[in-house]
Amino acid sequence: MPAKNQAKRVANVVKPNRGKKDAAKKVLKPKATAIKKRKERFIVQFHRPYTLKTGPAPKCPRHIAPVVKKNDAFSVIKYPLTTESAMKKIEDTNTLVFIVDTRCNKIQVKEAMKKLYDIKAVKVNTLIRPDGKKKAMVRLHADHDALEIANKIGLL
């Protein structure tokens, strides 16, 4: 008895080529395209996509001109101190005591003293008082007398 699929094999081999008409039909026949299926959503929350964030563009500017930070000698030294301890420093250690701007440093205080009072400062000690103001103790050079300069400033 012949094998089960042998007849089909023989029939497929013996089949004649049907011709150019079938080939033309195969070319013209549109291929089926798969319809894209929407992705199933299992999450309940909806996260909004990121969108363009624009900066403020005011019609009228809030500031007319940029603020220029003053850093001159007059803004560094505010006023001299006239307490008893400050007077004692003037007499004993040739030192003047001033309240200065909290953001200035010792070098700026030294330069401001030179510019305002024509004094050569040897040393500057600073501290911030409990009320938040900065106190600077300016030790003067031996050429200058603190008492004379205090009189010139108007302390005594």
pLDDT in tens, 78-93: 999 999 999 999 999 9
Query: What digits encode the pLDDT tens for the residues 122-132?
Result: 999 999 999 99
How far apart are alpha carbons 80 and 100 in whole angstroms? 9
Q: Is the pLDDT of residue 66 over 70?
A: yes
Among the listed residues 97, 86, 121, 127, the one whose alpha carbon sits nearest the alpha carbon of residue 107? 121
Tens of pLDDT along 86-113? 999 999 999 999 999 999 999 999 999 9
pTM attached to this predicted model = 0.57
